[in-house]
Amino acid sequence: MAVLAPPSSDIDLWEDASLADPYPLYQQLRDLGPVVHLSAQDAFAIPRYDPLREALADWHSFTSARGVMMNDHVNSAFTGIVLHTDPPEHDVMRKVLAAPLRPDQLRLITPRVRAEADAVVDRLVHRGRFDAATDLAQHLPLTIVSTLVGLGDFGKERMLEWAAATFDAQGPVDRARTRAAFPKLDEMVAYATQEVTAEKVDPAGWVAALYAAADRGALRPGQPEAMVMDYTGPALDTTIFATSSAIWLFAQHPDQWDLVREDPRLIPHAINEVVRLESPIQRFSRVATRDVEVGGHLVPEGARVLMLFASGNRDERHYPDPERFDVRRRPSDHLAFGHGVHACVGMNLARLEIRLLLEALAAKVERFELLGVERAVNSTLRGIAHLDVAVS
Partner 1 sequence: MKLTFRRPDGSHGVHDTDPGTSVMEAAVAHGEDGIVAECGGSLMCATCHVYVDPAFSDLLAPPAEDEAEMLTCTAAERRPTSRLSCQLVLTDDLDGLVVEIPEEQV
Shortest gap between Cβ of 53 and partner 1 (angstroms)? 10
Query: Among residues 120, 339, 362, 391, which is the contact residue for partner 1, using CB under 8 A?
Result: 339
Query: Among residues 65, 198, 218, 347, which is the contact residue for partner 1, using CB under 8 A?
Result: 347
Query: Among residues 7, 268, 295, 296, which is the contact residue for partner 1, using CB under 8 A?
Result: 268
Query: Among residues 272, 378, 379, 380, which is the contact residue for partner 1, using CB under 8 A?
Result: 272
* H-only helix segments in 82-193: 89-98, 103-127, 139-147, 156-168, 176-190
Q: In this complex, which beta carbon is closest to partner 1, that of residue 65 or of residue 341?
A: 341
Relative to beta strand 304-307, strand 43-46 is parallel
Q: Looking at 70-78, 117-125, 179-187, 266-274, which segment touches partner 1 (CB under 8 A)?
A: 266-274
Which positions from 246 to 265 touch partner 1 by CB under 8 A, shown as an x/- string?
Answer: -------------------x
Cβ atoms 276, 375 nearer than 8 A: no
Going 350 to 356 to 361 to 363, the CA torsion angle's sign is positive
Q: What residues numbered 95-154 form the site for partner 1, per CB under 8 A?
A: 102-104, 107
The pair phi, psi for residue 365, each rounded to 5°, is -115, 125
Q: Closest Cα partner for 325 from 276, 369, 260?
A: 276
Burial per residue of 70-105, b for 16 or more beta-carbon CB atoms within 10 angstroms, e otherwise:
bbebbbebbebbbbbbbeeebebbbebbeebbeeee
Q: Looking at 242-250, 283-291, 295-303, 336-344, which segment touches partner 1 (CB under 8 A)?
A: 336-344
Q: In this complex, which beta carbon is closest to partner 1, that of residue 102 or of residue 127?
A: 102
Reported residue count of the chain is 392
Burial per residue of 268-301, b for 16 or more beta-carbon CB atoms within 10 angstroms, e otherwise:
ebbbbbbbbbbbbbbbbbbbbbeebebbebbbee
Q: Which residues pair with 293 in a beta bridge?
A: 298
Q: Where are any strands of DSSP class E within the chain? A: 8-9, 36-38, 43-46, 62-63, 129-131, 284-288, 292-294, 297-299, 304-307, 368-377, 382-391
Name the burial class of residue 320, with classes exposed (0-12), middle (13-18) and buried (19+) by CB atoms within 10 angstroms of its CB: exposed
Shortest gap between Cβ of 332 and partner 1 (angstroms)? 4
Q: Is the peptide bond before 88 cis (omega within 30 degrees of 0)?
A: yes
Cβ atoms 69, 83 nearer than 8 A: no
Q: In this complex, which beta carbon is closest to partner 1, that of residue 175 or of residue 339?
A: 339
- By CB under 8 A, the count of residues binding partner 1 is 19
Shortest gap between Cβ of 226 and partner 1 (angstroms)? 22
Shortest gap between Cβ of 345 and partner 1 (angstroms)? 8
Q: In this complex, which beta carbon is closest to partner 1, that of residue 102 or of residue 123?
A: 102
Q: In this complex, which beta carbon is closest to partner 1, that of residue 88 or of residue 372?
A: 88
| Distance of alpha carbon 170 from alpha carbon 378, whole angstroms | 9
Q: Looking at 2-10, 227-235, 307-315, 325-333, which segment touches partner 1 (CB under 8 A)?
A: 325-333
| Distance of alpha carbon 283 from alpha carbon 209, whole angstroms | 30
| Distance of alpha carbon 336 from alpha carbon 344, whole angstroms | 9
Query: Among residues 27, 134, 289, 348, which is the contact residue for partner 1, using CB under 8 A?
Result: 348
Q: Is 283 in the site for partner 1 (CB under 8 A)?
A: no
Q: Is 363 in the site for partner 1 (CB under 8 A)?
A: no
The pair phi, psi for residue 175, each rounded to 5°, is -100, 135
Q: In this complex, which beta carbon is closest to partner 1, that of residue 71 or of residue 272?
A: 272
Which positions from 177 to 216 touch partner 1 by CB under 8 A, shown as an x/- string?
Answer: ----------------------------------------
Q: Is 333 in the site for partner 1 (CB under 8 A)?
A: yes
Q: In this complex, which beta carbon is closest to partner 1, that of residue 286 or of residue 351?
A: 351
Query: Among residues 123, 129, 317, 330, which is the contact residue for partner 1, using CB under 8 A?
Result: 330
Query: Among residues 47, 351, 358, 382, which is the contact residue for partner 1, using CB under 8 A?
Result: 351
| Distance of alpha carbon 174 from alpha carbon 120, whole angstroms | 41
* Chain residues that interact with partner 1, rule: CB under 8 A: 102-104, 107, 265, 268-269, 272, 330, 332-334, 337, 339, 343, 347-348, 351, 355
